[in-house]
Structure formats: structure tokens, C-alpha cells
Chains A and B, each alone.
Chain A
């Protein structure tokens, strides 16, 4: 009888999934779990801070789309769960490493280097959290996964000696299949022509550029409004001071919305605007592209890499450059040209592409 060959195994730290509300890194983690499960080439164990988590509990969290119950289980039952006892195993962190040098094969993920290169956009505690141990984390990493080539370039500027150990880990968009069906059963959103801006309102998202540009002729004379999706807050009132009522009426703030509402708003939009100063990847661009929407994107960091030919680009610090690009992408013939490029570009980012580099690392390639 021939012994069945065991699949290679990794332990995936799913600490980000303990968050109650999943955006950003928790969603990235969920997508990675799903991608690796779809791939099937490796066996996956789960852990949080070196404590093993039952696979069923992780799956239940993914199915329900929240970490509330997983967090409760972790806090109340983890004392009875085993710990990661084998120093020889592959331990993968979808974000920074809370502990380093425990396993022979450790890997972490760099989402962006903004705490190092844009410290003015962060609180001191956040900077310390990301950077204080980074040198040691990188030293003990067998592989450092970067979420884009731009992030890899930024990482290598700070850690040039780690070049051979870096790998790309592109994520993908996985709208639930029933969203399209739900959308068909709803009327079209009655907002007229509009563009969407997705993201938490924080300085580096650069919403101030749009607000300052509202009075420029290219935008003032357009019939397109801006629907801003994301939590309100950061100095928004300050930015709106001095904006005329007519210009202010061009902005609609949705606040935080459900995933389906976001899907619906993007689907009804002419295009997506990403004015960010800096992005590690820029998932909203890819979300829009999957729905055939072009991207009016800042010429910065990873955005050209993600949006590719589906993008019209502008200098993120120039209102006039933004206005010119806005005028270009608003033209119906230009939108028609860009829509196929958006769908085509989005197809390049799938679960297979996300799973492959992790599987290659786990199998020693």
C-alpha cells in the first residue's frame, strides 16, 4: 500500500478576524483564507498570537462576516486550546508580526509604509506600533509579502537587504454572488450622474483636493456629483468652511454603509475617484473595476499599478490637474472606452493570484 503524501501545511494567524467590523486588513485576511481554501494545495491551521484556533470557528466567522463570535470564543475558550508548539512549521501573518523568531519559517505582510514615510498622517502610538519592532520582524522573516509593487519598493527603500525575501501578494475582490441578483430587483439610484469616492475620511485620502477643486470651471460646469462613502469625521467641517452652497450641494456624504449599499452605489456611478495621497494597494479601485467602472486616480504609489489602463490619472497635489482629468473621464465616449479596460484589468486580480505566492512559500519554492 502506498502512503498518501501529506500536503504542506501553514499556520495562518487570523488575529485580524477578531475585529467586529471587517474592513481593510480583516477583509484581506478573509480573502486570503478563502483563496487558500479554494487552491487546496496546502493544509491550513489557524492561530491567534501562537494559540491555535479551531478551523470551524474561523469558518463560522467568515460565513457570518464578523469577528464578534470568534473574539468571544478566543477570550473565553482559548485557555483550553493548544498553542503553536512546532518551531519547524510555517507561520504566516497577514499583517505585522506580534511575536517574532518563534518559528523557523515565518512570514509577514506589509500593507504600506506610510507610518515611515508619511508620519504626519498618523498618531505617534500607531507609528510606534508599526515601526518599533519592524527591524526585528524583518530579520526573522523568511518571506516578506508586499501587497503591491509600490509597497515593495517603499519597503525596500527602508530594508534594501531584504530584497530577495520579498514576494508579491495581490488581493482580489469577491462580491457575494447574490448582490447582482439583488441589484436587478431594485430601481436605479435616483442621484443623476455621480462619481463615488470610497474610503475613511482621513488626511491621506485627500478629500480636501476635491473640495478645493469644486469651484473650478471643469467641475462647476459638470452635471456630475460626488458621493462620498465612508465614516465621516476627520476635519471635514474645517475643509468645508468657505465652500459655496452651490459647490457644497455637489457633495453627498453617505457615511458608513453596508457592503451591498456600497456595491449598489458603485454600480450606479459613472466612475470612481481615488484622490489619495498614498495607498498600499487601493482596493476600492479594484472593486469599481470589477463592476466595469473606470477610475479617476491620483498618480501615486500603487494606484497606477492596480487601475492600469482603466485609470485616468492626476497629480494628487494639483487641483487644476485633477479638474483636467475629471473633464477627460466625464466625457461619455471616454467612459465607454475605459469600461472594458476596467473589467479586463479586474480579471487580472483573482484568488488564484493571491493564493499562489503563499503556497509557493509553504512548499519551499
Chain B
């Protein structure tokens, strides 16, 4: 990867994050970008880029709107401000991939665990396949799409940072499940006094499941998580922490809880209605500092692993990375070995297709 070994890299920012705020100009330094009110996910992505470029002596320059400098005088004006640069990393939320005149394009889709972002990306691949075919490298994703009848799969590059920006402080909310009263239940849970992480019951093992919107949309994964939750009802020595999927624009905590409950209900797994004392929703990520001992992490394949430092996974007893069994026969799409990403304690969990073998008709599940 040329852009990670030498020279100068221009990094373009996702427009949706900066469209309604005042920025110091089209071309910015990293300190100027990090001073803007951007999302934690974007801050983590930029931190990651800076960490890797800084370690290799690569100078970075940030660009707010590459699309407006596509031609002629405007392109020359930009080139004058950017200086000599031949590599462009487009940080995208999935809605657009942009090019910089004269540069090779790489892509960091930092928000594809949001259903809207993923859907937007799928539409983009369909609507502009030849544009997408120009992506040379993808950072921390393993996406593929079709262009002119050909499968396009830019080379994946996996990056970790030792200390990404700390997540917002997390609070825990006791789990309740009433599938016929989802909204009311979600409101009640969100309205209850949160439990500080320090005050959570001490447990022989803590199972941490950072949920994503796209992970929950995978019914086989939702079923696996619902079963994990059900098992915890009978195992009071285990503590289950379900980190809620990222909030949508303007969404409340109750909304995030409601979406999670709906996904668990749709899995068909029957869950007790009583309030367990060892299962909680988490409003934000755990960090290496806040994680309890004896941690077991379960994530969906699409999880944005790079938002945690590698030592977070290394301090866990085990990391389980769930993926659809159908992909097992296609290592070109999905690497079978997850240790390069999650460390030595990581293993795969192959999820059977929903509705086939081990599906909703298993003993104890709703018909």
C-alpha cells in the first residue's frame, strides 16, 4: 500500500458529519478536524489513520469536499493547497465515495454497521459501479460488489490503533423483555436509574456483546444472542452486557433499546418475562479500563473492531466472532482465521441459516 509506506496522504471527510457545522476551510489539519463536533466513530477512524501514518512518517492533510474540485481552475486551486499528493483515502459513511483529481482512491467505510449506511453503500455500488471500481484498497472492511459483470473486491487492509479515543462513559440498564409491549418496555428501561459499571454484580464470567444494527438484522445472529440471554437467566453467576447499537440521528436511548428488543423478539426465541439481575443493556462501549475481569466477548462479523485497542481483545478470556455458515466455504470473502484481527483468543462461531437446523423451531422457542 503506497499510502501507508511513504509520502503524503489526503484524507477526505464524510460530508454528512460536517454539512451543518462551520469548518475552518476546505483543507484542514488533523487538530482542526478533531476540534469539530464529529461523531465518536469518525474520531476513532481519524485517530487510526493518524496513528498509522504518523508511525510511517506519512504526512496527512484533510479535505472537506473533494467533489467540488473536480476540474480546471478549482482542481488546480486544490492541488496548490494540497501539495504533491498521489494517494487519497475517502472516509465514507456509505452514502458517497469521492475521488480527488490525480490521486488513487482508497476507502474507509467507518459506519457500515448502521443499517442506513450499509443500505446506502449497497445502493451506491448499484448506481455507480464504475465509480466504485476505482477503489484500490479498503480499510478494515471486506466488501465486494459487481461492476460491468465483474466482481470487484479491493484489497483489505486491517488497521488497529493502540489507544483510540476513549468511548463516552457507559451506563447499564436492567434488561426486561416484553415482546408485546416493546415501546413501553423500552421507555421504562431507559427511564429507570442507570447502574454505574462499578456497581454491577460481580460475576464469575462477564459476557460482553457489542451489538450493531446490521448484526441484529442478521436473524441467525439475533437468535444466537437471544439464546445467550436466555441461558443467562439460568446462570446467575454470569453477567451479560448487551451494548446497544449506535444511535440513529436524534434517536433516544429508549429507541435503541426498542430496536434491540424487536430484533430479539423477531428471532423467535422465547425469553422469560421476569427481570433478571444479571443481564443489562449498555449505553456505550466498554474500554480496557472499564471492562470487568473474566470477560468473554461475542461480536458479529461486521463489528467495527478497530474502535477498541487490540489489548482489549487480548485481555478477554475468549472472543467469539459470529458469521453465517454459508460463508464458510468462501474464504475469499471471509477469512476463516480471525486471530490477525482479534488476537490469539479469537475463534469463529458459524451460524446456521435462520429457519434451517437449530432455527426457531428448536425446543423452547416460539413456533
| B72→A304 contact, CB < 8 A | yes
A350 to B75, CA, bound (A): 26
Say which one of A96-104, A314-322, A357-365 lies at the interface with B.
A314-322
Stretch at the interface among B127-135, B220-228, B239-247, B284-292: B127-135
**A301 engages B70 (CB within 8 Å):** yes
Determine if B127 and A134 form an interchain contact, defined as CB atoms under 8 angstroms apart. Answer: yes
A118 at the interface (CB under 8 A from B): yes
In the complex, residue of chain A having the shortest beta-carbon distance to the beta carbon of B73: A304
Cβ A321 vs Cβ B68 within 8 A: no
A277 in the interface (beta carbon within 8 A)? yes
**In this complex, what residue of B is CB-closest to A121?**
B19
In the assembled complex, which residues on chain B have CB atoms less than 8 Å from the CB atom of A89? Answer: none
Is the beta-carbon distance between A318 and B68 smaller than 8 angstroms? no
Assess the B72–A132 pair: CB atoms within 8 A.
no
CB within 8 Å of A: which B222-254 residues = none
Q: Is A331 an interface residue (CB 8 A)?
A: no
Verify if B40 is at the interface (C-beta below 8 Å from A): no
What residues on A are CB-neighbors of B67 within 8 Å? 113, 117-118, 154, 278
Q: A150-B70, A304-B73 are in contact. Are A317 and B96 (CB under 8 A)?
A: no
Chain A, residue nearest B19 (CB):
A120
* Contact between B74 and A120, CB atoms less than 8 A apart: no
Hey, which chain A residues are within 8 Å of B22, CB to CB? 212, 319
Residues of A in contact, count (CB < 8 Å): 40
Shortest Cβ distance from residue A240 to the other chain B in the assembled complex, whole angstroms: 15
Q: A119: CB under 8 A from chain B?
A: yes
| 6 other A-B residue contacts (CB within 8 Å) besides A119-B95, A313-B77, A316-B26 | A149-B72, A150-B74, A300-B68, A315-B26, A317-B24, A318-B25
Q: Is B120 an interface residue (CB 8 A)?
A: yes
Distance of A283 from chain B, by nearest CB (Å): 18
Summarize B's interface: helix, strand, loop or mixed: loop
Contact for A159 among B25, B65, B130, CB less than 8 A: B130
Q: Is the CB of A116 within 8 A of B96?
A: yes
Asked whether any CB of chain B lies closer than 8 Å to the CB of A131, the reply is yes
The digit string for A123-155, where 1 denotes a CB below 8 A from any CB of B, is 000000001101100000000000001101110
* A119-B120, A135-B127, A158-B128 known; A203+B19 contact, CB < 8 A: yes
Residue of A120, A158, A278, A321 touching B16 (CB-CB under 8 A): A120
Name the contact of A116 in the complex, choosing from B68, B101, B127, B129 (C-beta under 8 A).
B127
Cross-chain contact of A315 among B25, B120, B123, B131 (Cβ < 8 A)? B25
Asked whether A19 is an interface residue with its Cβ less than 8 Å from the other chain, the reply is no
